[in-house]
Amino acid sequence: MGDSATRPLKRTALFDRHYAAGARIIPFAGWEMPVQYEGILAEHRRVRTEAGLFDLGHMGEVDVQGPDALAFLQYTTTNDISSLAPGEANYGMLPNDTGGVVDDIIVYRMPEGHEGYMVVINAANIDRDLARWDELRQRRSDLDVTVRNVSDQFAMIAIQGPNAESIAQKVIDIDLSQVAYFTLVEGTIAGVPARIARTGYTGEDGFEFFPANADAATVWDALMDAGKDEGLAPIGLGARDTLRLEARMPLYGQELGDDISPYEAGVGWAVNLRKGDFVGREHMAAVKAEGAKRKVVGFKMVGKTAAPRTHYPVQVDGDVIGEVTSGAFSPTLGENIGLALIARDYAGVGKPLQIIIRGKPVDAVQVKTPFYKRAAK
């Protein structure tokens, strides 16, 4: 981390597109990324009602291959990779040795005819994830596996929203209606090859595409053109954050971290204690057996108030019992919503909290999450 301030910011293959579109560019995880185009509220609503296109070129991709790729991923991640058929994916954690989380990841088993796995990781964690896998490879030198950072070879572009499939189908050769949620296929987008996954981080239907970096602009332009009559527009990181928050998807560094158990973060479902040994398993098993001491809960502010923000203290009866991990004005609900990591005894839907906003306690109430769930098709 020490040299991150002096390292020059990187640009994705689509930077010129964002600049030309008038995006506001901010530094994010070592990259110059678009935070907004037309405005966060409009972009957010567009993804909920039509479709949005996201440049996620900063995200990391790692190929794990070799005869023991499965055994290595079973050992170094929390979810059960052995349950994945070719082309299937699951969400899980790269754990540390003490029951916390180095990163949250999606592991895709490559489709029929291809070997190994692709793991998609957070931009800010690429270096530490690779260092962690390096360390674990040495620990398990009995396993024959290669872990290759292919982040610089692949672009990542997501299309999300109710019109995503209809738009993408115009420029993709395979039948997208046959691509199930959390699966990966190889296909062709506007004539160029790409990995195509039905995954996302918005709570909407949609796809994530992984073309070669050199083909990123071809894919971006073809999708923008295909979507021009169906409301497609580019979406920045600002709306990406409010979209994922409404869908109660955790963000590493906020709901997840080195000292937060997945069971505290509410993603215990992505930990499989029955699959056999994996790093950190005994710590996670202990937390599960005893019950997490803290819990990430959803809340809404009562009435018209300022928005809760990350690290704002949370109190009950004058005692600080935790802090806000994420908070924002919810464009869909028109209310201020948030997630907070609090002492377990205070957690419960309907129970009150007070959020300390600029020194003053402001009333909030715990609510069920997700805050937003799209209607079934």
Residues of the shown chain interacting with other proteins in the complex, contacts defined by CB under 8 A: 24, 35-36, 39-42, 238, 242, 304-307, 309, 328-329, 331, 336, 358
Query: Closest approach of Cβ 22 to other proteins, in Å?
Result: 12
Query: Closest approach of Cβ 39 to other proteins, in Å?
Result: 5
How far apart, in whole angstroms, are the C-alpha atoms of residue 257 and residue 253?
5
Sign of the Cα pseudo-torsion (58, 64, 65, 70, in order): negative
Of the two residues 161 and 236, which places its CB atom closer to other proteins in the complex? 236
Query: Closest approach of Cβ 35 to other proteins, in Å?
Result: 7
Query: Closest approach of Cβ 161 to other proteins, in Å?
Result: 18
Of the two residues 309 and 351, which places its CB atom closer to other proteins in the complex? 309
Is the N-terminal amide bond of 111 cis, ω within 30° of 0?
no
Which residues touch 163 (CB under 8 Å, ≥6 apart)? 50, 51, 227, 230, 231, 232
Query: Closest approach of Cβ 336 to other proteins, in Å?
Result: 8
- The amino acid occupying position 20 is A
Of the two residues 358 and 377, which places its CB atom closer to other proteins in the complex? 358
| Summary count for the chain: helices (H), strands (E) | 9, 19
Of the two residues 292 and 355, which places its CB atom closer to other proteins in the complex? 355
Distance of CA 164 to the CA centre of its chain: 18
Both tokens of 88, joined, read: 């299937």
Of the two residues 182 and 329, which places its CB atom closer to other proteins in the complex? 329
Full DSSP string of 43-65: HHHHHHHSEEEEE-TTSEEEEEE
CB atoms within 10 A of CB 218: 18
The 8-class DSSP code of residue 268 comes to: G
